[in-house]
Amino acid sequence: MISIPITDNGVNRSSYQYLPPLDNPAASPNQSLLPLSAQVNDQDHLVVGGSDVVELVQRFGSPLYILDSETLETACRQYRQAFSQHYPGEALVLYASKAWSCLAVCALVAREGLGIDVVSGGELYTALQAGVSPEQIYFHGNNKSAEELRFAVETGCRIVVDNWLELETLAKLLETSDRRVPILLRLTPGIECHTHEYIRTGHLDSKFGFDPDRVESVFAFISKHPVLDCIGIHAHIGSQIFELQPHNDLSDVMVQWFAKAASYGLSLRELDLGGGLGICYTEADDPPSITAWVKTLCQGVIEACRARQLPLPRLLCEPGRSLIGPACVTAYTVGSQKQVPGIRNYVSVDGGMSDNPRPITYQSVYRAIAASKMSAPLSETAAIAGKHCESGDIVINQAQLPPLEAGDVIVIPGTGAYNYSMASNYNRVPRPAAVLVNQGEAQLILQRETYQDLIRQDCLPEFLKQA
Ligand code: LLP
């Protein structure tokens, strides 16, 4: 690997500036723009997990999700280590699989000792098929169907009950059962945090969870239905959060409910404080480290329990974005370019809103890196346009890039969370493949969809079939 000093005189700035610092192996992955294994080889190409990104695109096609196992494993380990360092009680980290649910990802995080948070029958099925044991799975969601609840009960996973209908449906389902089903209650703690309004969930006006004013009647209902084994409570206040204070406040609010539950004869054992830690999408983002975030949760719970003379609960959290977001880059191949004199230059790529709907949905801002020309000065400003028939399909509004030609490869970092999981087939564009890279090995974890896949679920009524 060559190492070129990064100059910051505005002329020589190149994609090198985004490489993670080599001298800090303890870096928190969520504070790095590129995966921790990112380097540059002597062909001036970006290397992730020991594989040349340009070669990966030649081998697996484009666009391509490239998932670095070192970054994902490091994030899992930092979460677990932070709990063992800062919490004297038992703890469990759940991976919020809504961020990216597929067999390989579930199996990898489970191998790292994490449990899994699922929000649908489909995510539950995926986690089970990946070999995750049911007692390590927590089933969330504000509108689980009776069928999903039945599936959850049959598998033996933990159910995070969100509302009265679910509570009543479960009680009915178990009427004739002699088995107790472990449940947690999702509460809306009334805590505000600064993030995009679509991804804020803990404030009172939220579709999720029980209103705090009604919780006592919920406790009363549960105490009359012994089949419902209420083991704990849960809250999640939002996502892509950079402040620590809201989670400190959350610990205190939630511990108060432990004491109240006891007065209804319920002995809660688990406290799940959700996810939410932010990551770097650009160098302007400045999230706290994984360790600092976990320490805040732990200290908040320890203090709140001490103040009320309560034993420490089993403490859970369920990060998604900060575990898998920084571990992935999406590689695109550059195609057509268009100059609109005095207005804007467009560089089009072979994907866009179908593989990354976040810019069009949340106005999320990303950086682009010229993976095939890492040391070239970033002398151009251009919009990176997706290939979909929609003017708003712009991956980045103002990207700093070197001069590019058709065939060049660019990557967008920070695409591990909520990209594949929210991907669509808009314009009947097949979803990309994904590879897991590690020490020069690249394993396919998601096959690229084919045109046949696109019509697999289509049905053609008899009368429309051509003779
Ligand atoms: N637990 C619950 C109950 C959640 O609703 C979420 C995220 C998480 C955990 C994980 O939060 P994280 O650690 O990833 O922040 N699609 C949006 C994000 C939606 C988040 C939904 N809930 C995005 O692309 O930004």
- The CATH code of the domain that includes 277 is 3.20.20.10
For the Cβ of 418 lying below 6 angstroms from any atom of ligand 1, the answer is yes
For the Cβ of 99 lying below 6 angstroms from any atom of ligand 1, the answer is yes
Pair 280, 411 in one domain:
no
pLDDT for 3 equals 45
74 token code pair: 């490091």
Preceding amide of 63 cis, omega within 30: yes
For a pocket test of ligand 1, which of 162, 236, 412 has the largest count of ligand atoms closer than 8 A to its C-beta?
Answer: 236
Tell me the C-alpha distance between 247 and 263, whole Å. 26
Tell me the C-alpha distance between 189 and 86, whole Å. 24
Structural domain count, the chain: 2
Q: Tell how strand 181-186 and strand 228-234 pair up.
A: parallel
Pair 269, 122 in one domain:
yes
Tell me the C-alpha distance between 237 and 299, whole Å. 18
Q: By the 8 A CB rule, do 301 and 312 touch? A: yes
- The CATH code of the domain that includes 442 is 2.40.37.10
State which residues form the domain around 320: 70-324
Q: By the 8 A CB rule, do 246 and 193 touch? A: yes
Q: Which has the closest alpha carbon to 133: 161, 107, 98?
A: 107
pTM: 0.95
For a pocket test of ligand 1, which of 123, 321, 415 has the largest count of ligand atoms closer than 8 A to its C-beta?
Answer: 321
Q: Look-up: residue for tokens 């107790």?
A: 180
Pair 205, 341 in one domain:
no
CA of 319 to the centre of ligand 1 (A): 8
Q: List the catalytic residues.
A: 389
Q: Tell how strand 64-68 and strand 328-340 pair up.
A: antiparallel
Pair 282, 399 in one domain:
no
Pair 118, 195 in one domain:
yes
21 token code pair: 């610092």
pLDDT for 204 equals 66
CA of 179 to the centre of ligand 1 (A): 32
Pair 355, 408 in one domain:
yes
Pair 352, 315 in one domain:
no
357 token code pair: 């709907």
For residue 358, give the ligand 1 atom closest to its CA: 24
Tell me the C-alpha distance between 163 and 209, whole Å. 6
pLDDT for 194 equals 61
Pair 292, 369 in one domain:
no
Residues 6+ apart with CB under 8 A from 467: none
CA of 137 to the centre of ligand 1 (A): 16
- Sheet strands side by side (includes 46-48): 39-40, 46-48, 51-52
Q: Look-up: residue for tokens 């830690």?
A: 277
Tell me the C-alpha distance between 153 and 145, whole Å. 12
pLDDT for 24 equals 72
Hey, whose CA ends up nearest to atom 6 of ligand 1?
A: 275
Query: In this structure, is residue 457 part of a structural domain?
Result: no
Pair 391, 242 in one domain:
no
Query: In this structure, is residue 465 part of a structural domain?
Result: no
Q: Is 431 exposed, middle or buried (0-12, 13-18, 19+ CB in 10 A)?
A: buried
Query: In this structure, is residue 466 part of a structural domain?
Result: no
Pair 249, 122 in one domain:
yes
Query: In this structure, is residue 134 part of a structural domain?
Result: yes
For residue 320, give the ligand 1 atom closest to its CA: 14
Point out the domain boundary residue: 267, 300, 324.
324
Query: In this structure, is residue 34 part of a structural domain?
Result: yes
CA of 40 to the centre of ligand 1 (A): 32
Q: Which has the closest alpha carbon to 191: 172, 206, 173?
A: 206
337 token code pair: 């370019």
Tens-level pLDDT at each residue, the chain (467 residues): 444 445 555 456 899 889 987 767 678 999 999 999 999 999 999 999 999 999 999 999 999 999 999 999 999 999 999 999 999 999 999 999 999 999 999 999 999 999 999 999 999 999 999 999 999 999 999 999 999 999 999 999 999 999 999 999 999 999 888 889 999 999 998 886 666 555 556 656 778 889 888 888 999 999 999 999 999 999 999 999 999 999 999 999 999 998 888 888 888 999 999 999 999 999 999 999 999 999 999 999 999 999 999 999 999 999 999 999 999 999 999 999 999 999 999 999 999 999 999 999 999 999 999 999 999 999 999 999 999 999 999 999 999 999 999 999 999 999 999 999 999 999 999 999 999 999 999 999 999 999 999 999 999 999 999 87
The identity of residue 354, as a single letter, is S
Q: By the 8 A CB rule, do 201 and 166 touch? A: no
* Residue 292: alpha-carbon gap to chain centroid: 19
Tell me the C-alpha distance between 435 and 369, whole Å. 19
For the Cβ of 402 lying below 6 angstroms from any atom of ligand 1, the answer is no
Tell me the C-alpha distance between 235 and 62, whole Å. 39
pLDDT for 262 equals 86
